[in-house]
Every structure is written in C-alpha cells, then in structure tokens.
Structure 1
Amino acid sequence: MTSPRAEFTPHMEHYTFVLEDQPYLGYFQYGGEKTPVYTTDRHGFRATPGPGGQRATVGDDRPAGPVRVLAGSSAVFGVGATSDAATISARLWNAYAPRRPWLNFAGQSHNSVQELLLFTLFQHELAAVEEIVLLSGVNNLVLSRLPEEKQGRHGAFFDCGPAPDGIPSTARRVEHATDLTLRHLGGWKRLADGLGAQLTFALQPLAPWVREQPLPREQALFDELDEVSNFRRFHHDISAMEVGRAYAERLATGCGELGVPFVDMNVALGEAAGPEDWLFIDRVHCTDLGYDLAARRLTEHLELT
C-alpha cells in the first residue's frame, strides 16, 4: 500500500535534510547542489528564478541593482515546493512584487540567532538592499521545549541534545520564544537601518494556527509523519490556535516597540485560503499553493510592488 507521503508528495524524497557542518552557523545547505526540485548557489543559498529567464542568488548571479531579501528558515528555503519557481521568493519576484529581485536568504532548521548570524556573515555579498522580510518565529517556539541547560544565553538549536522527558509550561514556552525572537529582531533592525532597508517581521504559518481542522489529505500526511517523529508528543500544547494567537499578539507588541511592521501570516493565509485548498505537506511546510498564497498575502499587507 502506498503511503500518503509517497502518493501525495513524491517530490519530498529530494529534500534529504542532510546539512553541511558550518562554523558559526552550526549547519547549512551544501553549495552547488542541483536536484530535481531545488538548486543552491556556491554558498548553499537556494536560487530564485525570475522573469525572462533571470535568476538571483546570494553568492552567484543576479541582476544588477538593489535587491529585496526574504529571510528565515526551512519554510523560506521552500521545503515542500516542487521547484525553485514555487518558493515564496520566486512567487514574489515573478508574480506579486516584481520590481526588484528577491533573494532566498534561508537556512534550514535555523533558530532566530542563526538567521541573524547568516545575514551578518553574508551581507557583504549584497548590493543595495531595499527590503528585508523576516518570515520566522516557529522554530524558536519548537525549541522552547528543551531544558534551561540546553538554552544557553541565546537559545537552543536543533540537534543540540536528546529530547527531554518533560517540557516547560505552554506559557513559559511562549514567553521564552517571544523574548528570543524580539531580541534578535532588534539586531535585524539595526542592520536594516544601517543598510537603509525597510524591515518587516512576519510570523511563519503553522498548520493548526491557520485552520483548526486540516483537510483529509493533510491529516493523512500529518498522521504518517507522527508515526516517525515526536511533534505531536512534544508540541501538542503549542499547536492550539489560541496559543498561536497569543504568541502573535506578544510579537506584535514587541515589533511595535521596535518600530518594525508585523504580519501574522497564519491569519493572512487563513483568510486567503478556500475550504478545499491544500496548504500544508506537514505542519510547518507548505504546498506550492500555500507558498503562492503566502506570497500574495505578504504583498498585500506590505503594499509591495
């Protein structure tokens, strides 16, 4: 019998999640990869194909002139997309906000400090930066399950130790993830101000924060993944929609204090999706349609051109 994952998302076999050890960052995509679904430049950043056969990457070729940056983790990288052309950055450049090239500035499984470090380490590759959109927030909340000794001064990261037997309270997890996200967003704000770029923070969509009842196809995929992962066991408490809204409210308040525009992509995506629209291939990563709707809603909220 064919599994739901093999039946509905056969392209996922090409997303291996095998990352290269990297100083400072911990791990990052391999450079120069070309698979049937994604391509990376010499540094490991995913390529963004553009109109008329153009292409934009952080480390290789791109059109001359100012750029826009979409930063974050695996959802920004586009895990789940069937091609480079189906990522959020590609949909922005090709369909919704085509005035400037969009660079995919993402590292899979990165927390907020790794996202900030990644930009700091590679900003020298960039020309003038007009816009930075940071689509993030979920990984910090996921990693908040780890005990205090794993958090250090700047937050835990993936693969830093075995899963704990117990987890902190939901309220503590939300508080901790909010504090870390906003602390590192302050660093982004200083960098953006120095570059003369507009910075926006968008809370990454999580399936149960977008709609409480997944489609039957989504539920089948989630159930299959739950058999081999610990998401349901360790994160059932943060999966409730009211937790997502509370997290968004705290982040929105902090963004307001920093002077950074805020968008909750869970609400935005939920408003844009039809009742039968297949949005997620797992609870964190979208289908091509999900990424396209996310790009459209970002454009509408930020009034991009």
Structure 2
Amino acid sequence: MKLQRYELTPQMKQYDDFDNRGHTRYLPYLMYFNHADYRSDVLNTDRFGFRFTHGPSGRAALDGEVAQGPVRLFVGSSVALGIGATSDATTIPSYLWSRYAPSTPWLNFSGRSYNSVQELILMLLYRHLLPRVEEIVILSGVNNLLLSRLPAWQHGEHGAFFYCNEYFEHMEQLRAGHRRPGRKLWGRAARTQGPVQQPTEPAEVPKLSELISHATALTERHVDGWRQLAAATGARVSYVLTPLAPWVRQEPAEEEATLFAELDRLSGFGVPLDEMFGEIATLDAGRQYARALREVCRKQDVRFLEIAPLIAEAAGPKDWLFVDRGHFTDEGSDLFARILSEQFSLS
C-alpha cells in the first residue's frame, strides 16, 4: 500500500530513516542526540550531529565549517532542526541566513525530540567549540507541554523526556541485577529493596491548567539558565513558542488534511492525535500557554513571540504549511522565517 506521507512528502522517508531507533545515539547527560555524519539529499549532519545550514557564504555547522564569529544560534527540537524540510537549505535557520537575516551566519543548534532542559544542556556541552555568539533564538515549548501529560512518576525533578519509559524500565533491570539477598557491604548485611513498582493503572491526565502550569515552570527555570549563560557573552536571547498546526488554524489545507488522516490511522494508538493530546490540540490551549510563557519571558527580560496567530494571518486557506501536526513544509518554514525576522527586526 502506498502511503500518502511518502507520495506527498517523499522527504519524510529520509527523516524516518534518520530517526530509526535502532541507530539511536545514546550520549551522557543528554540521553540521546542526532545521528552524526548523516548524509543524504534531504539532510546532513556534522561529526557531532548538528545539521548544516546554508547561507550566502556556503554552508555551516559547529564542526569546523563556520566563520570565526560572530554567529547566531537557532535552538530547539525537531521543528528547529527542520524535520519536514526537503533539504538543509530549506530549514528555518537556513532561510534566515540566506533570505531574511543574512548579515550573520546562523547555526542549527537543535536536537530531535528534546525538552527544554536537554536544549540547555546541549549548549553547556558544546559552547566551548562556538565562536562568539551574538544572538540566540529558542524555538521551544510544545514538547514540555506534551510531556506534561505523562504520568507524574516519570517527571522526576527536571521533567519527563521522550522515551523515558524505556529508560526507567532498563534502569530498574540494572538495579535488580545488583541486588543480592544477604550480600554484605563493608562487613554488614546490605538491606535489599524490591523493585520499584510502577503504576499499572493508567493515570488520570491532569487538567489543561495543570499541564500548562507544569510546563511553564520548567520553561521558566531553563529560560533563566539561557539568560544567565548568555549574559557572560552579551548575546541576546529570544523565545518563540513552537506552533502546532491546530494552534494556527482549525481547518487544514487539503494536503494537510490528507496527511493528518493517514497519520491518525498509522499512529497505533487507535485514536486521532487530536484526541490523544486532548485539550492541548486546541486553539484555546495554544493561546493560554502563550500567555503564561509571555509572562515568564517578560519577568526575565527575554523577547517572546507567539508566532501561530501571525502565521494564520499571513497564510492563505489553501497554503500547505505542515507535513504533520508539528512540522513544516518548505513553504511553512519560509513563512515562519520571514515573520520571525520582521517581528524581531533581524537583518
């Protein structure tokens, strides 16, 4: 059976290969990061896993193919990385560098399926390789909100992350392997513990207000980390809330409707993604979340942009913007980059 996903968006076959869990790179502190030295007609990464951007002077990535500085960083998860783009040259940071804000090179500093703490840790681990940074634009927020729907026992002190259920399962197996009844530790019998009991009944999903409160608290903590980190270099930090397709418009374009319906059938959950995400996938949820994040950024003197309504205003009803409910087509990325440069007066 031919999938419309591969007929309408053939580049997604390459992204599915790029995201193959059998080739996941597990890294200390980050848990996982992008496939390194990946080569294809659609996307390419350097030896660390950072995707290349394209601009007037060629292409750039962290690994040696960037000017001595200054540079601008485009930070975030899969949308910032450019999942859905037909090439490295058609991602949001590439459009910024090549068309709308070309005065300074842009580096793609994004990780697939990252939450806000992983985005910050990525910077801490690789900042020693960066030239002088004058601008940091963070495209984030939606993953924190989606992950807030996971059971409370998976959140810990720093928030849940994607695939965390696998992590907890394997860590419990590791602990169990070290337990020995009656085993002595420094001459004393070590106390044994049974395995951590994970809830077997599905947890009740918190109310939307609770999800927003949890996600906002995490974001506030990590935006403060970005602000303090950037203060030492003089870089300006700006925050953009990643838009979901339902936050932009209620009626998708024809191609989007076809792809969304197919993805619902293939999801494996037996329900449409709109239902699985519940109230998060509504226009009102996006507006409420944006208000909460706007206040967080205001208190920390960080520029904030809710871009979803601006995209809705600029796009026509037939404009094909999304390859799925979270990732842009080339046209969507181009529109995003133009609006971003206008709103933040980037040149």
Common fold, TM-score beyond 0.5? yes
Find the aligned partners of 1:66 and 1:153 in 2 and give their Cα distance: 35
Find the aligned partners of 2:78 and 2:230 in 1 and give their Cα distance: 22
* C-alpha deviation, 1:273, in angstroms: 1.1
The correspondence of residues 13-162 of structure 1 with structure 2, limited to 5 A, is: 13-16=13-16, 17-18=19-20, 19-52=24-57, 54-161=58-165
Find the aligned partners of 1:63 and 1:273 in 2 and give their Cα distance: 35
For the residue of structure 1 that corresponds to 2:280, the secondary structure is coil
* C-alpha deviation, 1:298, in angstroms: 0.6
* C-alpha deviation, 1:165, in angstroms: 5.3
Find the aligned partners of 2:127 and 2:74 in 1 and give their Cα distance: 13
* C-alpha deviation, 1:60, in angstroms: 2.6
**What residue is the counterpart of 2:234 in the other structure?**
196
The correspondence of residues 287-298 of structure 1 with structure 2, limited to 5 A, is: 287-298=329-340
Deviation digits for residues 164-188 of structure 1 (CA, Å, limit 9, x no counterpart): 5542211111111111111111100
Alignment length (residue pairs) = 304
For the residue of structure 2 that corresponds to 1:24, the secondary structure is coil
Deviation digits for residues 40-78 of structure 1 (CA, Å, limit 9, x no counterpart): 0110000012214x1111123112320000000000100
**What residue is the counterpart of 1:4 in the other structure?**
4
Decide which moves more: 239-248 or 211-220: 211-220
Find the aligned partners of 1:125 and 1:132 in 2 and give their Cα distance: 16
* C-alpha deviation, 1:30, in angstroms: 1.9
Decide which moves more: 54-63 or 160-169: 160-169
Aligned residue type for 1:23:
P
Find the aligned partners of 1:24 and 1:191 in 2 and give their Cα distance: 18
Relative distance call for 1:239 and 1:32 in structure 2 (3 A) is same
Structure 1 gaps of 5+ residues are none
For the residue of structure 2 that corresponds to 1:304, the secondary structure is coil
Relative distance call for 1:95 and 1:164 in structure 2 (3 A) is farther
* C-alpha deviation, 1:216, in angstroms: 2.2
Aligned residue type for 2:56:
P
Aligned residue type for 1:96:
Y
Find the aligned partners of 1:74 and 1:118 in 2 and give their Cα distance: 14
Computing the radius of gyration from Cα coordinates, the structure with the larger value is: 2
The question of whether the paired residues in 1 share the 8 Å contact of 2:85 and 2:330 is answered with: yes
The answer as to 2:304 corresponding to 1:266 is no
The question of whether the paired residues in 1 share the 8 Å contact of 2:81 and 2:108 is answered with: yes
Aligned residue type for 2:25:
E
For the residue of structure 2 that corresponds to 1:132, the secondary structure is strand
The question of whether the paired residues in 2 share the 8 Å contact of 1:11 and 1:37 is answered with: yes
Relative distance call for 1:127 and 1:164 in structure 2 (3 A) is farther
Find the aligned partners of 1:85 and 1:166 in 2 and give their Cα distance: 43
Aligned residue type for 1:14:
Q
**What residue is the counterpart of 1:186 in the other structure?**
224
For the residue of structure 1 that corresponds to 2:32, the secondary structure is strand
For the residue of structure 1 that corresponds to 2:72, the secondary structure is strand
Find the aligned partners of 2:259 and 2:32 in 1 and give their Cα distance: 27
Aligned residue type for 1:200:
S
Aligned residue type for 2:245:
A
Find the aligned partners of 1:235 and 1:101 in 2 and give their Cα distance: 37
**What residue is the counterpart of 2:324 in the other structure?**
282
Find the aligned partners of 1:244 and 1:198 in 2 and give their Cα distance: 25
For the residue of structure 1 that corresponds to 2:294, the secondary structure is helix
Find the aligned partners of 1:123 and 1:273 in 2 and give their Cα distance: 37
CA RMSD of aligned residues (A): 1.4
* C-alpha deviation, 1:191, in angstroms: 0.8
Q: Which aligned runs of 4 or more in structure 1 are off by greater than 6 angstroms?
A: none
The question of whether the paired residues in 1 share the 8 Å contact of 2:224 and 2:300 is answered with: yes
Deviation digits for residues 246-290 of structure 1 (CA, Å, limit 9, x no counterpart): 000010011000100100111221122122110000011000000
